[in-house]
């Protein structure tokens, strides 16, 4: 079922989506579902890398890199959905999150940078360099979740 990594695909995602500002959600619920969809996919592919870092799965450079690039790419999508007014209702977002948009954006950008670094070291293929960067990326995820996501 696995296909070889499609470099065009991943490079297109990374390049095309960088700085992209996708407008328009028809409904507030769509913004919530949009970001939840992205974050579920991010979680899935981040966890696949985590299994390797923990030694539960063997390290395969191509597969790890694919996951890292995909996570980096996906994570560029949802900021606008997070910022959508009213979307703090009916989601796991803390009630005061949208009152701290600057902090939210800053933390989002920090994670984005950590994920970009992770993709870069994944391309390098040195697991001893990947592991600490995976940790740094995960820590930035956790910091933002702690700040803005209900337990």
Q: Give the single-character DSSP code of 149.
A: B
99 binds its own copies (CB under 8 A): no
Q: Should residue 48 be labelled a site residue for its own copies when binding is judged by CB under 8 A?
A: yes
Do 65 and 5 form a contact (C-beta atoms < 8 A)? yes
Q: Is-contact 93 101, C-beta < 8 A?
A: no
When the beta carbons of 66 and 91 are compared against its own copies, the nearer one is 66
Check residue 88 for interaction with its own copies (CB under 8 A): no
**Rounded (10°) angle between helices 28-53 and 127-148:** 150
CB-nearer residue toward its own copies: 125 or 132: 132
Q: Choose, by CB under 8 A, the member of 64, 73, 97, 111 that binds its own copies.
A: 73
Residue (of 94, 74, 85) closest to 25 by Cα position: 85
Token pair in block for residue 133 = 């960067």
Dist. CA 74–CA 146, nearest whole Å: 21
Selected from 30, 92, 110, 149, the binder of its own copies by CB under 8 A is 30
110 makes contact with its own copies (CB under 8 A): no
Q: For tokens 């950008």, what's the residue?
A: 109
Residue numbers of the site for its own copies (CB under 8 A)?
A: 1-14, 16-18, 20, 22, 24-25, 30, 33-34, 36-38, 40-41, 43-48, 50-51, 53-54, 56-57, 63, 65-67, 69-70, 72-73, 76-77, 79-80, 83, 131-132, 134-139, 141-142, 145
């Amino acid at each position: 079922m696995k296909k070889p990594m499609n470099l065009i695909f991943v490079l297109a995602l990374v390049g095309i989506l960088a700085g992209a500002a996708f407008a328009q959600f028809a409904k507030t619920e769509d913004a919530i579902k949009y970001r939840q969809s992205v974050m579920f996919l991010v979680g899935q592919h981040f966890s696949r890398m985590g299994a390797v870092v923990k030694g539960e799965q063997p390290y395969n450079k191509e597969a790890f890199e694919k996951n890292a690039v995909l996570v980096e790419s996906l994570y560029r999508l949802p900021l606008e959905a997070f910022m959508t007014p009213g979307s703090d209702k009916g989601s796991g977002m803390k009630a005061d999150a949208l009152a701290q948009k600057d902090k939210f954006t800053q933390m989002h950008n920090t994670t984005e940078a950590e994920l970009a670094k992770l993709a870069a070291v994944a391309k390098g293929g040195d697991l001893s360099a990947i592991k600490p960067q995976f940790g740094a990326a995960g820590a930035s995820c956790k910091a933002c979740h702690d700040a803005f996501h209900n337990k």
